[in-house]
Amino acid sequence: MIPLANPVFDAAEADAVQEVLDSGMVADGPEVRRFEREFADYCEAAHAVATSNGTTALHAALEALNIGDGDRVVTTPLSFVASANTIRLAGAEPVFADIDPATYNLDPAATRRAVRASDADAILAVHLYGLPADMDALSEIAADEGVALIEDAAQAHGATYAGEPVGTFGDAAAFSFYPTKNMTPARAGWW
C-alpha cells in the first residue's frame, strides 16, 4: 500500500500533548491562543481563530460574511467536497465556475461570468494542491462585482502569491490541519 500521507511526529509533539494533558485545559487555553497568534504571524494576517477543522473554519468564514439563505457563492468544482458543502451548510447555493486546465484552479473569466449570471454574493477560491489561485484577477472581480472573497487555503499552508502568503487576499481564509495536509499542528514556537 502507498501511504497517502506520512505525518512526522517525534518527542516534541508527544511532550507538547503531555503538557496540555497535564495542564487540565484540554478543550481551549493558552496553547490554543499561542497557536492562533503564531499562525496568524506566519500567514502575515492580523488574526487567526482556531476551529475544530477546515470545514468548520470555512463555515465560520461564510457565516461571518453573512452568507446564508438565498445567497449564491461561486466556487470551483475541482476540490475536496467541503469547499462546496460548507456553502450548502451556510444555507447558500454553490455555483460552479470552470477551472483553468493549466492550473486546475478557478478560471477568472469563467468566475466573472458565473458571478454575473447568478448574481452571486461571494467567490470561494481554492488554492488546490498548494498552488495559489489567481488572486490578482479574483480580487479584481470581487471588487468590481461587489462580492466577498473567501480563500480555501486548506491545502496551501506557506504558499505565496506575488510574494504574499495565501490567506491574506480575501475577506477571510480557512486552513486545514487534517493529517494529510501540508502541515499538522505543531507546538508553539515550531515555525
Ligand X SMILES: Cc1ncc(COP(=O)(O)O)c(C=O)c1O
Q: How far is the CB of 42 from ligand X (least distance, A)?
A: 18
Q: How far is the CB of 135 from ligand X (least distance, A)?
A: 16
Our CB check for ligand X shows the closer of 85 and 118 to be 85
d(CA 170, CA 76): 16
Q: Which is nearest to 170 in space by CA: 108, 125, 111, 121?
A: 125
Our CB check for ligand X shows the closer of 145 and 152 to be 152
Our CB check for ligand X shows the closer of 141 and 166 to be 166
d(CA 47, CA 147): 22
Q: How far is the CB of 28 from ligand X (least distance, A)?
A: 18
> What residues line the site for ligand X (CB under 6 A)?
53-55, 79-80, 82-83, 126, 152, 154-155, 176, 178
Our CB check for ligand X shows the closer of 82 and 145 to be 82
DSSP lists the bridge partners of residue 173 as 151
In the chain, DSSP finds a helix count (H) and a strand count (E) of 6, 7
d(CA 82, CA 51): 15
Instruction: Determine contact, residues 168/56, Cβ cutoff 8 Å.
Output: no
Give the nearest residue (CB) to ligand X.
54
Q: How far is the CB of 80 from ligand X (least distance, A)?
A: 3
